[in-house]
Every structure is written in C-alpha cells, then in structure tokens.
Amino acid sequence: MQNCISIWHSKRISATNAEIEIFAEPKEYKLRFNYLSIQPASGYTNIAQFGERVSRTWLGIANQYVFNGIFTEGDRLYIDGVNPDIVLEMLNGFGYSANAIIKSVQSQNRCVRLTIEKLV
C-alpha cells in the first residue's frame, strides 16, 4: 500500500474464546516507511506458506518501538481503503464493518510482523 494511507485498528477487548467479541473504538494509523507498512502477500514462498489463501492475505511490518503490544491476534483492521462506518459501528458494535483480521503477531528483532487475512 502507498505511504500516508490511513488504516484503522480496532483492538479486541473480549477474551480469546468469547462467544461475543467486543472491540474498542477504531484508531487511525498512517502507513509510513519504518513506522507501519502493509503489502499483499505474493511470490513463491508466500504461495507455499498460505496456499489458496494468498489472494486474501496481507503482510504487515510495524516498528517494534512504537507498536510493541499494540496489535494482538484477533484484532480487526480497516485496510485497503475501507473506513469505519460510524452508523453501523454504533448499532452493531465496534469492529463490525472491518474487512480484515490479524491472524498472527510475531515480535522480531526491530519490528513486529503481522499476518492479516481478509474477512469473507
């Protein structure tokens, strides 16, 4: 994705295996080099890793000093030009109109690696 594009992050508040998931109010982040970047998964190794899900998978890299502990598995994201719909969010709860979910968060040496999957 391009720099200076906004994405929205709605953190999961409920427990991991809760029947009804509850999310916090979406927070906006700008994509920037060495801050936060998200790219669609492509290439031979990603196809081997994700298989047929590669077309609906994004990979994110976040600065560890800024985003350490911010992202967790199960959080919802509004990416690829999607913005939170305030009316739907107020009626159905935050995270309702999100189009992606964080599947994996891996802390590495200087960055946090995210695996993001499109919600169907």
pLDDT, tens digit (0-9, with 9 covering 90-100), for 25-78: 999 999 999 999 999 998 899 889 889 889 999 999 999 999 999 999 999 999
What's the whole-model pTM score?
Answer: 0.89
3-state secondary structure the chain: CCCCCEEEEECECCCCCCCCCCECCCEEEECECCCEEEEECCCHHHHHHHHHHHHHEEEEEEEHHHHCCCCCCCCEEECCCCCCCHHHHHHHCCCCCCCEEEEEEEECCCEEEEEEEECC
> For residue 90, what pLDDT is reported?
86
Query: Which residues constitute the domain of residue 26?
Result: 6-15+22-118
Residue 1 in any domain: the answer is: no
Residue 88 in any domain: the answer is: yes
> For residue 37, what pLDDT is reported?
95
Residue 73 in any domain: the answer is: yes
As for how many domains the chain has, the answer is 1
